[in-house]
Amino acid sequence: MKPIYVLNGPNLNRLGKREPHIYGSTTLAEVEANCRAAAGDCPVVFHQTNSEEALINWVHEAIDEASGIIINPAAFTFTSLALLDALKMVEAPVIELHISNIHKREQIYHRSYVSMRADAVIAGLGARGYATAVKAMLDMIAG
């Protein structure tokens, strides 16, 4: 089975420390462990970057290698047409993920370029949204 790619954008390496009143106290290492546990036998490729270029390169890699992509693009959600263009090349399922409910936040967080491509969006479940996304992706892959 091809892996599920779980891709994380800028500042998510600071989970557990960064604005815990918004993002909670779960670390990115704990998120990764939860994703792998939720995936069971399905392999997971898990990445985080503060670089738009690296994130786009991993999307390009996933085009050929992944059974699906779960992506928390963080701030790139609202700014990156280049990321949207890369995701538009992906034929596998794409789930957009946000730890906070972006629709309850400031207006600048309400327009997602990634949503223009995503097959599903999960927002506001906190760090546990990742395991939910992995389970949903497994269902999507199974058809």
CA distance 97 to 70: 7
What pTM does this model have? Answer: 0.95
Task: Output the pLDDT for position 100.
Answer: 87
Question: Is 99 marked as a binding-site residue?
Answer: yes
Count of domains forming the chain: 1
Domain span including residue 100? 4-142
Mean pLDDT within 98-123? 88
For residue 114, the SS3 value is: helix
Question: Which among 5, 98, 113, 130 is annotated as catalytic?
Answer: 98
Please indicate if the annotation marks 72 as binding a ligand: yes
Phi, psi of 77 (to 5 degrees): -50, -40
- CATH number of the domain at 47, please: 3.40.50.9100
Is residue 51 annotated as involved in ligand binding? Answer: no
pLDDT digits (tens, 9 = 90+) for 28-69: 999 999 999 999 999 999 999 999 999 999 999 999 999 999
> Which positions ≥6 away from 88 have C-beta within 8 Å?
117
pLDDT the model gives residue 105 = 73
